[in-house]
Amino acid sequence: MDSNFFIMYGKYKDDTVFNGEVELKDKTYAGNLLLYIAQYSADLFYKYSGIPYDKIKEAYKTSSLQNMMKTFNIKKELRPVVNSYIYFSEFKHIIKGKIPKTYKTLNKKGFGYLFKYNLFRAAKKTSEKAKEYEISAFFGFAFETSLKYAFKLLDIKPSNISINSKGLKRMKELRGKINTLSDLYAVYLMLEKEQTHIPFPSNRLLRKAYPDLKVRRR
């Protein structure tokens, strides 16, 4: 396919985000599709990351983070993922995209993500025999890549959020400040070099728990 396009496929258990091939008509069309991919890839990143996802999903609104870590016996290396999920849950509603009404469906094995819009390009494939955390990493890639290019294609400008603190303290200070995609873009840029305390899906969160994962440092 020589034109601008988006392809994604892959199903694990009963979960899939998108299984099709789409010709990207224009920037807005492409950007809204990528927001949709980010929107639905996020939960699957957390779900298959190794944390007790269903239990945390039920408990986080009524239980403290410290209590959840003890009750569910979260190992140290995955605690940043739990922390990220809780913070992300507070603002994930701002990521809303649109799926095309018609598109070519695909029947392929494994997991794949291929995107081209003019000079913007991205690709990742994961085997059908992948371990669960590798599937989490596939959806982590899908989230961050889709979000990054959606910001550019939709001409979203970062807001002027400014936090001088670092690490977990910065995460806490960001609470309640991410209310628009412009805010999220500002935070995304702010945390490009952060490796542990990230309030959205990122494969950087998986590095310590799964050292065999090849995760690019930003």
Q: How many domains does the chain have?
A: 1
pLDDT in tens, 178-188: 999 999 999 99
- Closest C-alpha to 142, from 4, 46, 41, 48: 41
Confidence of residue 36 (pLDDT cuts 50, 70, 90): very high
Q: For residue 1, is pLDDT > 90?
A: no
**Residue 164 sits in which domain range?**
5-206
Residue 26 lies in a domain: yes
Say how far residue 91 (Cα) sits from the centre of its chain. Answer: 13
Is 115 in contact with 123 (CB distance < 8 Å)? Answer: yes
pLDDT at 21: 96
> Is residue 76 in some structural domain?
yes
Tell me what pLDDT residue 67 has. Answer: 85
| Sign of the dihedral defined by the CA atoms of residues 162, 93, 208, 112, in that order | negative
Structure tokens belonging to residue 30: 């492409």
Q: What is the mean pLDDT of residues 194-215?
A: 92
Please tell me the predicted confidence (pLDDT) of residue 2.
65
pLDDT of residue 163: 87
Q: How far apart are CA 185 and CA 191, in angstroms?
A: 10
Q: State mean pLDDT over 129-158.
A: 97
Q: What is the pTM of this model?
A: 0.94
Confidence of residue 61 (pLDDT cuts 50, 70, 90): confident
Q: What are phi and psi of 11, to 5 degrees?
A: -135, 135
Q: What's the 3-state SS for 98-134?
A: CCCCCCEECCCCCEEEEEEECCEEEEEEECCCCCHHH
212 lies in some domain: no
Q: Give 64 or 177, the one with higher predicted confidence.
A: 177
Let me know if residue 211 belongs to a domain.
Answer: no
Mean pLDDT of 189-205: 94
Q: Let me know if residue 213 belongs to a domain.
A: no
Cβ neighbours around 74 below 10 Å, total? 19
In a domain, 93, yes or no: yes
Average pLDDT of the residues in 142-157 = 97
Distances (CA, A) of 127 to 5, 9, 108, 209: 22, 12, 11, 20
Whether 38 has a pLDDT exceeding 90, the answer reads: yes
In a domain, 218, yes or no: no
Residue 123 in any domain: the answer is yes
